[in-house]
Amino acid sequence: MPSFLTRTFKYRVYPTARQERQLEQTLELCRQLYNATLEHRTLAWRMARVNIHAFTQMAVLPEIRAALPEYRQVHSQVLQNVVGRVDRAFLAFFRRARQKGKPGYPRVKLAGTYRSITYPQPSPRSVSPDGHRIYLPKIGLVRIKLHRPALGHLKTLTVLREHHEWYVLLICTNVPVHTMPATGLSVGIDVGTRWFFTTSDGEQVSNRRPQEQLQHQLTDAQRELARRTPGSGRYRKAHDRVVTLYRRSRRQRAQWHHEEAKRLVQRYDLIAHERLNVEPMTGSRRAIQDVAWSQFFRSLTSKAEMYGRKVIAVHAHNTSLRCRKCGKTTRANRRTQERFLCVFCGHDEHADFNAAWNILARALPSGRR
Ligand SMILES: [Zn+2]
């Protein structure tokens, strides 16, 4: 088990009006450089069948800065990172092309769609000792809300705009794992629509769906938005309200996932859950639910890593139809959504509990318990 991890820490930052203008301008300059870099490679290939390497493109950055003074306002490594992003977009494109998927040629970034800049080698002391400011080269000291400390060694620093809010993402290596004392307990969890999950110990966690609690407000806000003329001041205001409500519900859900995951990780050494489809059918209610579950499982896995616990995803095939007592599987065992009644041995209990138990059994080495 590794005792160190790489983790991303995300914090809200509050640039001043002047810093915000600078950040906006930096994003726009980076966007233009991104598009020029992309076009350069595209033309070289189309016209001369020449594949231009990212290093070649990075080498001309000083000339760009000499010719276009506005680029001197952007940190040189941030510009290098832009070229690097184009390179990664091409590498991903070639990989997809080899795998015969839909390759999807790297796309030009339209105005307003370039949302982040990255400092690939930030100072290890970027955050001020009192934790109130973060130093962004060429921008200055920006107020930060460090709601929890960033651990380990700071590797890269990304500034991200999400609508009108600004965040920093700190990728840190060598983050220590705080292994918690073993409890000797294992659990299987079965996710569902009625209950968010049911454990093999019989605990049921209700589906709170913060999204639905905010649904009324959101519906009103969307109706309001539909009434407004695009481009008008009122339209922008209504749009902001929709975005704010969406974000609030997303945050509530993330917070809730975080709490539930933490509870499980504190109590159990091993947690088994069903493996979800990588690409769920889009649009269906089940797909929306799938997204929530996979977010929850990600939260669970990351917490487990942090505390030295184990999370195992198992194939859930037939776990809801197999009797945990006699091991026989038939569709007839499921009388209703809620009730499991084995037609072979008469075993009778809550269907989710039976499934959670089967999920755990699949994760254990001998299939015992
Ligand atoms: Zn049975």
105 CA to middle of ligand 1, Å?
54
Say if residue 60 is in the same domain as residue 107: yes
Residue 357 maps to a domain? yes
Q: Give the domain-ending residue among 136, 158, 176.
A: 176
Note whether residue 233 is domain-resident.
Answer: no
Q: Could you give the 3-state DSSP secondary structure of residue 154?
A: strand
Residue 118 contacts residue 125 (beta carbons within 8 Å): no
Q: How far apart are alpha carbons 157 and 122 in whole angstroms?
A: 6
Among candidate residues 176, 196, 219, the one where a domain is terminated:
176
* Whether residues 265 and 360 fall in one domain: yes
258 and 189 in a single domain? The answer is yes
Q: Which residues keep their CB under 5 angstroms from ion ligand 1?
A: 323, 325-326, 342, 344-345, 347
Cα(355) to ligand 1 centroid in Å equals: 13
Domain count of the fold of the chain: 2
Say yes or no: 155 and 264 in one domain: no
Q: Please report, for residues 138, 197, 288, the alpha-carbon distance to residue 190 in angstroms, rounded to integers and kept in the order given.
A: 50, 5, 17
Pairing of strands 4-14, 165-176: antiparallel
| Burial of residue 7 (number of CB atoms within 10 Å: 0-12, 13-18, 19+) | middle
How far is 1 from 7, CA to CA, in rounded Å?
Answer: 16
CATH code, 349: 3.30.420
Q: Do 183 and 136 reside in the same domain of the chain? A: no
How far is the centre of ligand 1, averaged over its atoms, from the C-alpha of 345 (Å)?
4
Q: For each of the chain's 369 residues, which pLDDT tens digit applies? A: 557 889 999 999 999 999 999 999 999 999 999 999 999 999 998 898 888 999 999 999 999 999 999 999 999 999 999 999 999 999 988 888 888 777 788 999 999 899 999 999 999 999 999 999 999 999 999 999 999 889 999 999 999 999 889 999 999 999 988 888 999 999 999 998 788 899 999 999 987 765 667 778 888 999 999 999 998 999 999 999 998 988 888 888 888 899 999 999 999 999 999 988 655 555 565 666 777 888 899 999 999 988 889 999 999 889 999 999 999 999 999 888 889 999 999 999 999 999 999 999 999 976 544
